[in-house]
Structure 1
Amino acid sequence: MSVLRTQLTGVARRPARLLLTGLAVLVVSFVVFATVLAQRITERNLLDGLSGTPAAVDLVVRDGTVTTGELDTIKKIDGVAEAAGQVGAGAEVGREFLQIDGDSGTGPLAAATLASGRYPAKPGEIAVTPRTVDRLGLKVGTDVRATIGNKIVPLKVVGTVTADGDHGYQAYAPQPLVSALTGGDVLDEIDLRLRPGADASAVRSRVEAAVAAGTRVRSGDDVRHEEAEQQASQLDSVFAVIAMFVAVAVVAAGLVATSTFRIVFAQRLKQLALLRAVGAGRRAITGSLAAEGALTGLATGVAGVLLALGAGHLVPVVVRAYGVNLASPGFPIPAALGVVALAVLITTIAVLAPAASASRVSPLEALRSSSVTGARSDIGKARATLGILLVLGAGLAAAYVAMNVPGRDPENYNALPFLLATVVSGALAFFALIALGPVLIRPVLAVLGRPFRISPVGRLAAGGVGGAPRRAAAVSVVVALGVTLIAGALVGGASIRVLADRNEAKYAPADYEVTPIDDKPVPAALVEQLKSRPQLAHVTPYRRLDVKIGETELNANDLAMTTLPELSKVDVTAGSIADLAPGQMIISGFTSDNTGLKLGDQTELTHGKSRVRLRVTAVLPDTAPLGSAMVLDPADLTRLGAPATYSGVLADAATTGEKARTAGRTAIDQVQNAAGGGWKIDVLADQRDQIDGLITILLVIALGLVSLTVLVAVVGVGTTTALSVVERVREAGLLRAVGLSRGGLRTMLTAESALYGVIGAGLGLVLGIPYAWLAVKALGVNAPLTLPIGQLAVVFVVLVGLTALAGVWPSRRAAKVSPVVALATE
């Protein structure tokens, strides 16, 4: 107990050192508990705002056969103030889908609110949302013919309404009018609002007696909660992903804590030697140091939780000033205790190896020890063997994935085992880096540290990092972990984005596509009218034709491959799409597989009695544009018997932006209506925007989560630099005594911090890029390896800058110590 009391007394005398030692754990405790609070805030807000049932609904009748007759009966029940039937009708207007929902438009039970015009009151009248006006061109006063079921009914737009979730295909009308459109009396549900003071249980019993068996009558609160839970169920998976990244940050904090404990204990070798000399055993010293580690975790865990709790309660107050209402996270005591326990666990595990190592030093060795830790670069035979085995394991797992990567058209491919194998390989590689790190530091420093060796101060900084390879390896490995994850996210995201762009270029090569309804072809006169409209650009007609190569039936088109800008994104396995000319053809990868045709081969195509002989001028990786098997020159398709009319027309908006896109859509509508109608208009640009937006959001989220590990790494660099300053006071004093200025000393120590970032970022890129590529291939998608060089360079520079910044304060502190005082320090 005397040894333990001695150690704890030393900790009490220097509380700042305790917090500095566990600073990374404090940060990760803050992150973990802040994540818990963020999830609580999000869930509470979603449960309050995601229900589709209005707040005024007291009872809901659903889950059975609910009819308009029962609605009339329920309206007469004593205690019912209002009852509204919910029904919907799916309509087709000019090949576009339109959802018509029954809604009163006024009163507490209404989901839609009138914005302009008037609310429907007569059969066939509808009110539409603003986005529906833009997308479908259904302005107030428009008369259209819609197909509902097997009937064609006239509809008239009499107003616009606002409603939650305006997707661009919604219309509203009173429930009786919508029921008349469907021709039935079945409702989806009935919403009830009770009179003030009515007995809800008694009214519920009366309603249950009035409806058919099997129909459920539930309270509005229960229904709203269930709907909100369904909407918010995706949060579980989202926060599960966040938890995975937080777990990586926890591991990083553990590595940083282990490194800092080694430095702190090494600085106290003389104290430990004196304890050994007066009879303290190794077990007692190990136990006392482990207790110090646990106390560090307790203090930093509590501090992190309190900071997160304060931030969690401050955020709703701040955003409320900007008109945004957020729920309070409350006080989740069990979660707070769990985070503190996690912090204690991290530091306890992190302190064990350094404590055991420190306790093994003999009194004589400790008293003669240098004050600089981590100078040894050897790692011992056992650690070297372990590192080599980890490298071999990582290589075997990676080879297993690489050899089983699916081809162009995988069938029944399950990506999960190969993704797991990729993760296992990456984890083994990272642990190999931990094991072999001290051996790798000097060779890596010799390559990446060359720019620093230009100046004398830079050479001193490189010597300081290379002189303590164990310490440099411990810090750089954490930086490497963060950079590996960032590089993986950037490379994977860029590769998937290029794949998505290429696929969209084939299936959605323009902003709009005009296609026939009921096989009505597109005449050349319509194409010329579209080309004359200033709101449109790159108007490109195409024809389709079913042809044969031998007995293989294939679909061909004559799309001009150089007219539409989006087609420039189409990838080519062999040849060039710009070489397409009469007598040549572009084939898909699937066509190449099925027919055996390669670049330069010639073959005969037939259609009925018509025949042409063509040469392959380009082979695509998978499918050809518009989902066809091949692209031919228009002259060759005509020789095969294609008609003069077109199968479809592609066009772009003249300029970018939502207004230009709407103007282009309107221009196409006007042209096709003037020509008698009969053609369908698809806005392909919306599909491209949706996919691009999804990829962007996922990438931003991934980078945001990865930044947690980077934050811990930067804290680790700052902590290590600060502790090394204390450790190397005599060295700093000697440098000052031989003429190094304060500014030079500051620059040297800051450069050392930057070198930690250089080494870690370099190792991270070496690991992150190949594993990102392997993960993309393991997904089973035919994505190309895409290196966002600019983004990776920015990551490298920013990480080096952050690690350099982390060393500014310790370097300034070291420069303030006078040479005389520094040389007198033991």
Structure 2
Amino acid sequence: MTGPAFTGLIVKELWGHRRRLAGSLVAVFLGVAFLTGTLVLGDTMAKSIDRFFANAYAGTDVTVRNATTVTDMPGQLRGEIDGSAVDRVRAVAGVAVAEPVVQGSGQVLGVDGKIIESDGPRIAGNWITDPELNAYQIVEGRAPRTPDEVVINRATADRGKLKIGDRTVVLTPQRVPVTLVGITKFGEDDGFGDTSFTAFTLEGMRKHVIPGDDKVTAVTIRAASGVSQETLTERIRPVLPPGAEAVTGEELAAQDRERVDQFLGIFRTALAAFGGVALLVAAFSIHNTFAITVAQRTRESALLRVVGASRRQILTLVSAEAVAIGAIATVAGLAGGIGCAALLKLLFASFGMGLVAQGLVISLGTLLIAAPVGLVVTLLSALGPALRAAKVPPLAALREVAAERPGPSDSRIVIGSVLAAVAVGGIVWGALTESMTMAGAGAVMCLIVMVVLGPVVARPAAMIAGAPAARWRGVPGVLARDNATRSPRRTAGAATALMVGVGVVTLMTVFAGSLRASVEDGVAGSFHGALVVNAGSNERGGYNPRVADEVARLPQVENAAGLGQGAVRVGSDNADVRIADPARLGKVLALDVAAGSLATADTFAVSQDAADDHRWRVGSPVPVTFADGSKQTFTIGAIYRNDDVAGDYLMPRTAWSAHNRQALDRVTFIELKPGASAADAHKAIEALVKPYGTPEVQDRDAYIASQSEEMNAFLGIVYAMLALAIIIALLGIANTLALSVHERTRELGLLRAVGATRGQVRSMVRWESVIVALFGTAGGIGLGILLGWALTRALGNPFAAETLALSIIALVGALAGILAAIRPARRASRLAALTAIAAP
């Protein structure tokens, strides 16, 4: 066969089977679009963050700050330094402007008297008068002039419905009545990410937020003309007070960007994983489509061999079809990825994870990743069918050839059984030994087992899934079951795509449910009181610790203890600590003290896990470094087993307050007196906390449930993002049915000829689709439960499979089968009997 003739044949085959291959094209398009969308979204976030830091440090040449770090969290305020640093720096040659920076916690109340919510830090700071050093600009009103005037960023003002001239309150945590005189923007944005920023005058900060005039958070410096950042930094360092350091603006931006990039990297990896799942499901759909079309063209391939086509040309023919489909779908997918990225932004915003960006960023790297992936996935998916087509002998043109082998080979059964045993063994061993590596290896092998054993399991599974249809739907149900079992390879191929999607959804459901159960059981096991005052989900927020004292004085209350949160360095490691009066906390929480006692207010306590890791016991010294750079060695006074609420380190409030002038409580646990009315206590506490920004008063059950709210948001995002994989799987089932209907045209005509109605034909095709979907859904749920159990056990969490959620997944799977069959069933029912009988 000559080159031009062969090229013409490729075009003819593509055009002649365009409807059969349309499902593959759509599957590739959706997979590439989703992958492109996730990559674009990641690039957009990175660009947005770069812009934020560029604005933040655009005019800053050098910053003097505390040299101590106690946390890796981005945006965390450092400890203070001696205020003498300001005058020392101003006297250095080459310093044009040096301004003190005083910052702390400042939470603004909206018109409703409640704290204006934000997911980022809620900061109060002094207004920087030099416009080149200040990243914020006044866009409405004016800068503050007196200690009781403030300006706030636009996003905070809009959320709190505040306008120029309004009187409101800033909690520092004391109530500070203020007048709003200005609204700011951070560069071109309404805020620095989701940070709430309130600016006082320097006098106002030292009067209301950080009392005194001997400490500053930092000194921000602009160099004189001709003086480089590095040169000025070297000049400043010799004059700094102990514990302070000088950092160039470029270095400061790079450090903050690096911390944020660590969190962004995890997020981008998760997005790419979702894109990978969508492409994997698409690969199964493409493979099944090509496998069916190649099988249906067996005689055609044999005829081509008879007229002189070589095996290589047959292989090239099928591969060229795959490349053409992959190329068209990939180009369309790259374009569709832009819209997908925009939809993903809206999705994350709807779940409280708004992404600040002025536009989508499409990088060359995204194109270089997504385009080859789309082509390679399509080609690899079609490679197996192409190789089978190349092996068709010329004599096959002279006889009737079955489209597919009726059953799996013995070698497939043996190999698949061995692989299944190894996969299950790896998963179970990983779970029992808490080895994520072993459990992960077993999970990957499960995917191989699905492909190998799918045709082996398909026939008995379809018989079981089709039994209700055969019993209740009469002849159409029996025929649907028989059609599903007739070609186990085809049924398995269509179901596997759905199995992967459902399996991942089930895995995430089990994983999140287990984490939620772990959190809820831990909190429920620790707290047995009636009520809680909860600051909310923002870990950087809180309220005045006086709340616990005032609540404890109510006539209905037996005991009340507040719990705060902070960061220190324990030895050489950064660590989170809980802040409380240990004696009072021990009365409202069941901490299960293993050694020592929490009887005194100055007891430093650690969890059993922390003690085991460091080989500590009661009386062991623990060196602690605070954010201000000061160091203190504590002696362990108690070791407790229940750390779900108290964490690994429980620090006395007296010790914490000596190094932090703005202590905040995040939660207050309340135990009522015997016989006291919970409703009356709830009402009294709500009235009491109103001046403190109205933190939420919850009963015990509501508080326990609130601790897992983030899991619900996580699951919502997972379900929404994996919905695309399910849609691609449904396209695969629909495409398989459409190709099956085309193959059985003559059979369907005979059924109509012997009296089958159009409704019966539609019912037969629908039930066949439901059987395939139930097979894929049941397999996916089983696989997801197994992997979810292994993952949760490997992480040391309890296993919790939520029956309601899994039942909904199963129901959706059945409904998906009905939806996938709509078009093929309609087409099958509309076939004219005589025309169908005459079909080849």
The normalised TM-score by structure 1 is 0.68
What is residue 50 of structure 2 aligned with on the other side? 47
Match of 1:335 among 341, 356, 366: 366
Q: 1:212 to 1:157 in 2, by over 3 A?
A: farther
Match of 2:533 among 512, 535, 547: 512
Tell me by how many angstroms 1:712 deviates.
Answer: 2.3
Give the residue type in structure 1 aligned to 2:43.
R
Q: 1:527 to 1:165 in 2, by over 3 A?
A: farther
Q: Give CA deviations for 1:558-609 in whole Å, capped at 9, x if unaligned.
A: xxxxxxxxxxxxxxxxxxxxxxxxxxxxxx999xxxxxxxxxxxxxxxxxxx
Find the aligned partners of 1:518 and 1:733 in 2 and give their Cα distance.
Answer: 80
> Residue 105 of structure 1 contacts residue 111 of structure 1 at CA under 8 Å; is this kept in 2?
no
SS at match of 1:327: coil
Match of 1:765 among 777, 781, 784: 781
Tell me by how many angstroms 1:110 deviates.
Answer: 7.6
Find the aligned partners of 2:206 and 2:832 in 1 and give their Cα distance.
Answer: 90
What is residue 485 of structure 2 aligned with on the other side? 466
What is residue 517 of structure 2 aligned with on the other side? 498
Find the aligned partners of 1:808 and 1:144 in 2 and give their Cα distance.
Answer: 60
Give the residue type in structure 1 aligned to 2:490.
R
Find the aligned partners of 1:755 and 1:47 in 2 and give their Cα distance.
Answer: 51
Q: Give CA deviations for 1:739-791 in whole Å, capped at 9, x if unaligned.
A: 2222322222222222211110111112111221221111023x2x3222221
What is residue 810 of structure 1 aligned with on the other side? 824
Q: 1:269 to 1:700 in 2, by over 3 A?
A: same
SS at match of 1:190: strand
SS at match of 2:315: helix
Question: Counterparts in 2 of 1:675-686, with a 5 A limit?
Answer: none
What is residue 696 of structure 1 aligned with on the other side? 712
What is residue 577 of structure 2 aligned with on the other side? none
Q: Given the alignment of the two structures, is residue 251 of structure 1 paired with residue 266 of structure 2, yes or no?
A: no
Find the aligned partners of 1:353 and 1:363 in 2 and give their Cα distance.
Answer: 20
Q: 1:709 to 1:114 in 2, by over 3 A?
A: closer
Q: Give CA deviations for 1:640-671 in whole Å, capped at 9, x if unaligned.
A: xxxxxxx9843699789x9998545249999x
What is residue 624 of structure 2 aligned with on the other side? none
Question: Counterparts in 2 of 1:691-770, with a 5 A limit?
Answer: 691-770=707-786
What is residue 28 of structure 1 aligned with on the other side? 31
> Residue 287 of structure 2 contacts residue 382 of structure 2 at CA under 8 Å; is this kept in 1?
yes
Give the residue type in structure 2 aligned to 1:750.
R
Find the aligned partners of 1:659 and 1:206 in 2 and give their Cα distance.
Answer: 62
SS at match of 2:780: helix
What is residue 457 of structure 1 aligned with on the other side? 476
Give the residue type in structure 2 aligned to 1:811.
A
Q: 1:659 to 1:297 in 2, by over 3 A?
A: farther
Tell me by how many angstroms 1:283 deviates.
Answer: 3.3
Tell me by how many angstroms 1:714 deviates.
Answer: 1.4
Identity of aligned residues (%): 21
Give the residue type in structure 2 aligned to 1:421.
M
What is residue 190 of structure 1 aligned with on the other side? 220
Q: Give CA deviations for 1:13-32 in whole Å, capped at 9, x if unaligned.
A: 33444433433222211211
Match of 2:461 among 435, 444, 447: 444
SS at match of 2:555: helix
Give the residue type in structure 2 aligned to 1:184.
D
Find the aligned partners of 2:279 and 2:553 in 1 and give their Cα distance.
Answer: 64
Question: Counterparts in 2 of 1:56-455, with a 5 A limit?
Answer: 58-63=59-64, 67-69=85-87, 84-88=99-103, 101-104=125-128, 109=134, 121=146, 157-159=177-179, 173-175=200-202, 178=205, 181-184=211-214, 188-190=218-220, 192=222, 201=226, 211-213=236-238, 218=248, 227=256, 230-309=259-338, 326-333=357-364, 335-370=366-401, 373-374=403-404, 376-377=406-407, 379-405=408-434, 418-453=435-470, 454-455=472-473
SS at match of 1:528: coil
> Residue 115 of structure 1 contacts residue 160 of structure 1 at CA under 8 Å; is this kept in 2?
no
Tell me by how many angstroms 1:821 deviates.
Answer: 1.4
Find the aligned partners of 2:718 and 2:790 in 1 and give their Cα distance.
Answer: 18
Tell me by how many angstroms 1:438 deviates.
Answer: 1.5
Tell me by how many angstroms 1:424 deviates.
Answer: 1.7
Find the aligned partners of 2:838 and 2:727 in 1 and give their Cα distance.
Answer: 36
Q: Give CA deviations for 1:323-367 in whole Å, capped at 9, x if unaligned.
A: 998533355455335423222212222222212222323333354
Q: 1:653 to 1:105 in 2, by over 3 A?
A: farther
> Residue 469 of structure 2 contacts residue 481 of structure 2 at CA under 8 Å; is this kept in 1?
yes
> Residue 494 of structure 2 contacts residue 733 of structure 2 at CA under 8 Å; is this kept in 1?
yes
Q: 1:104 to 1:383 in 2, by over 3 A?
A: same
Give the residue type in structure 2 aligned to 1:336.
L
What is residue 811 of structure 2 aligned with on the other side? 797
> Residue 391 of structure 1 contacts residue 429 of structure 1 at CA under 8 Å; is this kept in 2?
yes
Q: Give CA deviations for 1:280-326 in whole Å, capped at 9, x if unaligned.
A: 33333223322332222222222222333466589999999xx9985
Give the residue type in structure 2 aligned to 1:762.
A
Tell me by how many angstroms 1:512 deviates.
Answer: 3.4
> Residue 230 of structure 2 contacts residue 248 of structure 2 at CA under 8 Å; is this kept in 1?
no
Tell me by how many angstroms 1:76 deviates.
Answer: 11
5+ residue gaps, structure 1: 92-96, 147-153, 406-417, 533-540, 558-587, 591-620, 629-646, 671-680
> Residue 475 of structure 1 contacts residue 756 of structure 1 at CA under 8 Å; is this kept in 2?
yes
What is residue 821 of structure 1 aligned with on the other side? 835
Find the aligned partners of 2:44 and 2:52 in 1 and give their Cα distance.
Answer: 12
Give the residue type in structure 2 aligned to 1:355.
A
5+ residue gaps, structure 2: 67-83, 107-120, 161-165, 185-190, 240-244, 536-543, 560-583, 601-606, 610-639, 648-667
What is residue 486 of structure 1 aligned with on the other side? 505
> Residue 487 of structure 1 contacts residue 768 of structure 1 at CA under 8 Å; is this kept in 2?
yes
Q: 1:45 to 1:660 in 2, by over 3 A?
A: farther
Find the aligned partners of 1:268 and 1:518 in 2 and give their Cα distance.
Answer: 77
What is residue 579 of structure 2 aligned with on the other side? none
Q: Give CA deviations for 1:688-744 in whole Å, capped at 9, x if unaligned.
A: 677423222322233334334323211211221222222121122112212222232
Give the residue type in structure 2 aligned to 1:528.
P
Give the residue type in structure 2 aligned to 1:345.
V
Tell me by how many angstroms 1:507 deviates.
Answer: 3.9
Give the residue type in structure 2 aligned to 1:13.
W
> Residue 441 of structure 1 contacts residue 466 of structure 1 at CA under 8 Å; is this kept in 2?
yes
SS at match of 1:329: coil
The normalised TM-score by structure 2 is 0.67
Q: 1:622 to 1:113 in 2, by over 3 A?
A: farther
Question: Counterparts in 2 of 1:585-624, with a 5 A limit?
Answer: 623=642
Q: 1:789 to 1:816 in 2, by over 3 A?
A: same
Find the aligned partners of 1:285 and 1:542 in 2 and give their Cα distance.
Answer: 77
What is residue 585 of structure 1 aligned with on the other side? none
What is residue 78 of structure 2 aligned with on the other side? none
Q: 1:687 to 1:173 in 2, by over 3 A?
A: farther
